[in-house]
Amino acid sequence: MVAVGMGLIGFSAGLIVPALGFVVAGAGSAIYLPALLAYASERTPYRSRGRVLGAIELAWALSGMIGVPVLGLLIAPLGWRAPFASIAAVTASCAALTLLLEEAPRDRTARPRFNFGAVLRNRSALAFIATWFLVFFAFESIQVNYGSWFEQQFELDAAARGSVQMLFGVFEIAASSGSALFLDRLGKKRGVTAGLIVGVISYGLLAALGQTSLPWALASICLAFVGFEFSVVSGASVMSELAPAARGTMLAFGASAGSLGRMAADLVGSAVMVSAGFSTVALMSIVAGMLTVLVFALGVKERQRDRALG
């Protein structure tokens, strides 16, 4: 679906067909990643799942950090359609490679294809879904607004903001790597909680000191990237075992909650930025972040069924 969507964007004229391409590609991505995480979780013992899912998330992050600049280089000589055509070709190849993966063995007990009840009746699962919405809402409120804030507050031009984005990307990769390397030894729930607390601290620093100088602003947002990325990468392992009978459904619910959190933050955060300024946005993220810690720590009970199929 991603390959088809990117192909529609890259090889079609007008607005309607490319718009449809974005919808198809987005839907394909939303389907593929939860399915991939469910597949990997089904075949990996819980005690080592942090390393495996962390490696997948790290590859995801690296693809953006490395791939976006490379695709940008294609625009000047080949035009704006070239990146979309390239992504279509690469994702089609990935689809072919995915078909070569061994099918995960099924339990003898038949499971419904979409087991919504197993998720909706599970209090820990519902608390985790709420956590996922809140953590994405808190971080996205900062992420969607810091570019314009840097321009207004510190007069950073486009080139400087691009360099800042690269800096944030380095910290994002470092957090993903740290989760993959250390989460299994640290403990899944403990790791997620630590990441969430780091996020709240970063939002507090941003609200208190971010306005005073560029170094404080950069340090605060770098810390926010670390806390967010570590908690999200670590949280995938916890999420994968909350409803084992409906693992794919649970992961899909989590992905949807994160997307809704981002969408809400894009709308609310942008409106707050215009009406009240970036400091108020940071305060909003503090409140959301503190609520996230409480919901996760008190509402999510970690399952530790150490089983792998295959």
Query: Above 90 in pLDDT, residue 265?
Result: yes
Q: What is the pLDDT of residue 273?
A: 95
Q: Between the ranges 157-166, 185-194, 285-294, where is the mean pLDDT highest?
A: 285-294
pTM for this one?
Answer: 0.86
Residue type, 202: S
Q: What percent of the chain has a predicted confidence (pLDDT) above 90?
A: 44
The burial class, CB within 10 Å (0-12 / 13-18 / 19+), for 106 is exposed
CATH superfamily of 116-299: MFS general substrate transporter like domains (1.20.1250.20)
Alpha-carbon torsion (49, 54, 60, 63), positive or negative:
negative
Q: Is the pLDDT of residue 110 over 60?
A: no
Closest CA to 124 of 244, 214, 219, 12: 244
pLDDT at 112: 52
Q: Centre a 10 Å sphere on the Cβ of residue 226 and count the other Cβ atoms it contains.
A: 21
pLDDT in tens, 18-74: 888 888 888 888 888 888 888 888 888 888 898 888 888 888 778 877 877 777 778
Q: Who wins on pLDDT, 283 or 39?
A: 283
pLDDT of residue 306: 47
**Whether 106 contacts 39, CB under 8 Å:** no
Q: What is the mean pLDDT of the chain?
A: 87
Question: Half-sphere exposure (CA, 13 Å, Cβ side) for 168?
Answer: 21
Q: Look at residue 304 in the predicted model and tell me its pLDDT.
A: 62
For residues 136 and 120, what is the distance between their CA atoms, to the nearest angstrom? 21
CB 305 within 8 A of CB 133: no
Q: How far apart are CA 211 and CA 216, in angstroms?
A: 8
Contact 281, 138 (CB under 8 A): no
Q: What is the pLDDT of residues 62-105, one digit of tens each?
A: 887 787 777 777 877 888 788 888 888 888 988 888 888 777 55
Residues of the chain with CATH 1.20.1250.20: 116-299
| pLDDT classification of 111: cutoffs 50, 70, 90 | low
DSSP 114: S
